[in-house]
Amino acid sequence: MELISLIATLMVATFIGFNVLYIVLGKFDKLSFSEAVFISFALGLGTISLEMLIFYLLGLTFSVPVILIPWTILVTINVYRHMKYGDGFTFSERSTIPKEKNRALSIFLTCGITLEVAYAFFRALIKPIEAYDAVAIYAIKSKIFFLAKAIPQNYFPGLVHGFPHPDYPLNIPLSETFLYLAMRNLNDQLVKLIFPLFFVGILCILYFAIRRFASRAYALLFTFLLASIPMFNAYAANAYQELPLAFYYFASAIFLFAWIKEKKDLHILGLSAVLVALAGWTKNEGMLYCVINASIVLFVSVLARKDTSWKVTIAPVMYVFIIALILAPWIWVKQRFGIVNDEINLFNLNPVYLFKQLYKMGPILYEFQKQLFGPKKWILLWPIAIYAAIFHSRKIFAPEQRYISISLILAFCGYVLFYMVSYVDVVFFTSKTWGRFMLHFLPLVVLWLAHMLKEDIKI
Amino acid sequence: MSLKMWYKDKIHRHCEGRRPEAILKILFIVWVVLWIGFLARELFVKNNIRDYKNLLTRTLEGKHSYVTGDRLYDFLTYCKTTMPENSAYNIIGMDEGALESRKAVYYLYPNVKTADPDFIIDISQYTIKRVEE
């Protein structure tokens, strides 16, 4: 019964997300149906959890009907809009790139992906939440919210300080709370279903992103490579926030790059801004990606300054405005109650302080190379990426993957900066977090590889 | 010779002399072998298959007990029934940052861990004591 309630609630959340997607995009001709479903799922959870934070600000308590009622307004607007202006739900057409000749390889890759997906669901659902951060930081918060049927009014002023990392965003804890409310039970085993769904969502978006420029077998190959990375699969099952963050960032980056191609459709850029803001609402590291994406939008707009179109001029302002609007309630709560990060102080981002921290570069790079050459976690992904970077160095900044490369370089530099300004012992911190940080941009690395090796692999 | 010239001379010439597709084919085969090897290692060498087998037949409560350790979970259940709801406790006998301590805080909520407790829980000795006024 609980499983049925959970699945039904996830479908309702996806439907809400679909409405958010529709109001932002207006049409779906740039998306395949499966992409739309997974983006709707992530948008649904992200916006419902934001709504629950606003309930706290309004002093309201949680119940599933009360949470869902405000969304009927959006659904009504969308139904009206669709009936008046809509041209039907037309999803993107099938890729014009012909199917491959290599049928056996496609079957093998499909079987491999299916096995990894099934294993991720099995691993997630065989046991309740038990991994360290998942229990200590996130599950305890969702338990507090579920038992109180609200974010208790004494939570931010006092209660939150009794648990580690009070400043961590609440997207996933509140999403878990919503699902507990739907199941009417604190079933911390079934609630883990959302994590492999994010895993499948990333695979789906990657597949269709590659399919737009390559054959089916080629897209399957890189989807398989990502799915089979042990570290990636493990984090699909342990209720950590790495894959939800990776999903939001990856999807936002895909739409950002799609906008950069033509610089016409502000709806696509708007969707990218919404998704990257939800990355910031999922983990603090998401703020880094907000900055990276906004910087790229600004950079592209400056480069295209000869283009006098108002759509290009307004793009960076719109992008930052959407991010600020979505994150405003959370930032306000943190400011209001003086909730700060106990590991990193961004006021340390000044040249003098950074110069003094240069000694940290050794341990940071040492741990990074340990990750690069550690096959147990990543198989051969990073050696292949190094191969591609060396033997195709001219392609790194070629138009097709220029902004992917820039995003990856900025993400790497951003994490190095995190380590530099952190109070935590750098050896301990890097050994615990480098691998997890790399998961955040891993799907983008695989997409980058797919672009880089396009001419080397003829399938 | 400048670094750029050296790079062009060695690396690109080296690359042109090879068939990248053949190299990538070999890498893919090695990838698949490693993938199967690590999958098998996780299931059989790390013995996760035993955990999965044990977990399959358990109820949610039984699974909580299994992943926490049966003895600790029984003790925490006992603590929860012993303490009146919403009472305060503190944990001794274990580092605050230890996973067992974090799990205790999770399972014992809505009882809250504070520095001014009604109960002292010694996780290492599996004892719970009321604090005398």
Is residue A163 assigned to a domain?
no
d(CA A141, CA A415): 26
Residue with structure tokens 């799915």?
A227
Instruction: Write out the residues of chain A at the interface with chain B, using a CB-CB cutoff of 8 A.
Output: 112, 119, 122, 126-128, 130, 132, 135-136, 139-140, 143-144, 147, 159, 162-164, 187, 189, 221, 225, 228, 230, 375-376, 379-380, 384, 387, 390-391, 393, 453, 456-458
- Does B107 share its domain with B87? yes
Report residue B83 as tokens. 């303490």
Helix H segments across B69-133? 70-82, 99-108
Residue B25 has pLDDT above 70, yes or no: yes
Assess contact for A255 and A25: CB atoms under 8 A: no
What is the CA B58 to chain-centroid distance, rounded? 20
Tell me if B66 and A458 make a contact (CB, 8 A cut-off).
Answer: no
- Does B42 share its domain with B92? no
pLDDT attached to residue A307? 67
Chain A residues with beta carbon closer than 8 angstroms to that of B8: none
d(CA A398, CA A303): 16
Is residue A401 assigned to a domain?
yes
- Give the contacts of B13 (CB within 8 A, at least 6 positions apart): none
Report residue B114 as tokens. 């504070």
- Does B15 share its domain with B73? no
- Give the contacts of A20 (CB within 8 A, at least 6 positions apart): A40, A43, A44, A47, A74, A274
What is the CA A95 to chain-centroid distance, rounded? 25
- Does B12 share its domain with B35? yes
Is residue A158 assigned to a domain?
no
Tell me if B103 and A130 make a contact (CB, 8 A cut-off).
Answer: yes
Q: Please return the burial class of A269, using the count of CB atoms within 10 Å of its CB with bins 0-12, 13-18 and 19+.
A: buried
Task: Compare all CA atoms of chain B with the CA of A233 and give the residue at the minimum distance.
Answer: B39
Burial annotation A164-188 (CB, 10 A radius, 16+ → b, else e): bbbebbbbbbbbbbbbbbbbebbbb
Number of domains comprising chain B:
2
- Does B69 share its domain with B108? yes
- Does B70 share its domain with B121? yes
pLDDT attached to residue A341? 86
Is residue A377 assigned to a domain?
yes
Tell me if B20 and A456 make a contact (CB, 8 A cut-off).
Answer: yes
Is residue A278 assigned to a domain?
no
Residue B132 has pLDDT above 90, yes or no: no
Is residue A383 assigned to a domain?
yes
Among B34, B42, B66, select the one facing A375 at the smallest CB separation.
Answer: B34
Residue with structure tokens 């597949």?
A207
Chain B residues with beta carbon closer than 8 angstroms to that of A456: 20-21, 24
- C-alpha distances in Å from residue A109, one per residue of A105, A114, A257, A381, B21: 6, 8, 27, 17, 18
Nearest Cα residue to A421 out of A328, A279, A288, A291: A288
Share of chain B above pLDDT 70, in %: 85
As for the ipTM of the complex, it is 0.90
Nearest Cα residue to A173 out of A151, A158, A157: A151
Residue with structure tokens 């012992």?
A425
- Give the contacts of B110 (CB within 8 A, at least 6 positions apart): A144, A147, B85, B86
What is the DSSP annotation of A433-453?
A: HHHHHHHHHHHHHHHHHHHHT
Chain B residues with beta carbon closer than 8 angstroms to that of A389: none
Left (φ > 0), alpha (ψ -120 to 50) or beta: where does A165 sit?
Answer: left
| Domain that includes residue A363, residue range | 343-459
Put simply, the chain B residues between 69 and 98 with a CB less than 8 A from any chain A CB are: none
Tell me if A189 and B109 make a contact (CB, 8 A cut-off).
Answer: no
Assess contact for A217 and A109: CB atoms under 8 A: yes
Tell me if B24 and A230 make a contact (CB, 8 A cut-off).
Answer: no
Written as tens digits, the pLDDT of chain A (459 aa) is 899 999 999 999 999 999 999 999 888 778 899 999 999 999 999 999 999 999 999 999 999 999 999 999 999 999 998 888 876 677 776 666 666 667 899 999 999 999 999 999 999 999 999 999 999 999 999 999 999 999 999 999 988 888 889 999 999 999 999 999 999 999 999 999 999 999 999 999 999 999 999 999 999 999 999 999 999 999 999 999 999 999 999 999 999 999 998 888 899 999 999 999 999 999 999 999 999 999 999 999 998 877 667 888 899 999 999 999 999 999 999 999 999 888 887 778 888 988 999 999 999 999 999 999 989 999 999 999 999 999 899 899 998 899 999 999 999 999 999 999 998 999 999 999 999 999 999 999 999 999 999 988 887
Is residue B53 assigned to a domain?
no
What type of residue sits at position B87? S
pLDDT attached to residue A348? 81
Tell me if A230 and B63 make a contact (CB, 8 A cut-off).
Answer: no
- Does B64 share its domain with B122? yes
Residue B124 has pLDDT above 70, yes or no: yes
Instruction: State the nearest Cα–Cα gap between A257 and chain B, in angstroms.
Output: 27
Is residue B102 assigned to a domain?
yes
Please report which confidence band the pLDDT of residue B122 belongs to, taking 50, 70 and 90 as the band edges: very high
Among A139, A379, A390, select the one facing B35 at the smallest CB separation.
Answer: A379
Q: From edge to edge, which strands make up the β-sheet containing B119-122? A: B112-113, B88-92, B119-122, B127-130
pLDDT attached to residue A85? 80
Residue B11 has pLDDT above 70, yes or no: no
Is residue B110 assigned to a domain?
yes
Quote the pTM value: 0.94
Nearest Cα residue to B49 out of B62, B61, B39, B59: B39
Among A140, A189, A376, select the one facing B109 at the smallest CB separation.
Answer: A140
Burial annotation A297-309 (CB, 10 A radius, 16+ → b, else e): beebbeeeeeeee
Per-residue pLDDT tens over the stretch B27-82: 999 999 999 999 999 999 998 999 999 999 999 999 999 999 999 999 999 999 99
Report residue A80 as tokens. 């009206």
pLDDT attached to residue B10? 58
- Does B39 share its domain with B81? no
Within a 10 A sphere around the Cβ of B61, how many other Cβ atoms? 11
Chain A interface mutation, best of B3, B14, B30, B103, highest count of A Cβ atoms under 10 Å: B103
d(CA A392, CA A401): 12
Is residue A444 assigned to a domain?
yes
Residue B8 has pLDDT above 70, yes or no: no
- Does B40 share its domain with B64? no
Chain A residues with beta carbon closer than 8 angstroms to that of B109: 140, 143-144, 147
- Does B86 share its domain with B126? yes
Report residue A349 as tokens. 């981002």
* Angle made by CA atoms A225, A442, A167, in degrees to the nearest 5: 145
| Domain that includes residue B93, residue range | 60-130
Assess contact for A197 and A44: CB atoms under 8 A: no
Report residue A295 as tokens. 């910087």
Instruction: State the nearest Cα–Cα gap between A140 and chain B, in angstroms.
Output: 5
Is residue B41 assigned to a domain?
yes
- Does B84 share its domain with B38? no
d(CA B61, CA B67): 10
Nearest Cα residue to B131 out of B123, B119, B121: B119
Is residue B98 assigned to a domain?
yes
Number of domains comprising chain A:
1
- Does B74 share its domain with B25? no
Assess contact for A207 and A30: CB atoms under 8 A: no
Tell me if B67 and A189 make a contact (CB, 8 A cut-off).
Answer: no
Residue B105 phi/psi, 5° resolution? -60, -40
Check if B40 contacts A (Cβ < 8 Å). no
Residues linked to residue A420 through DSSP beta bridges, in sequence order: none
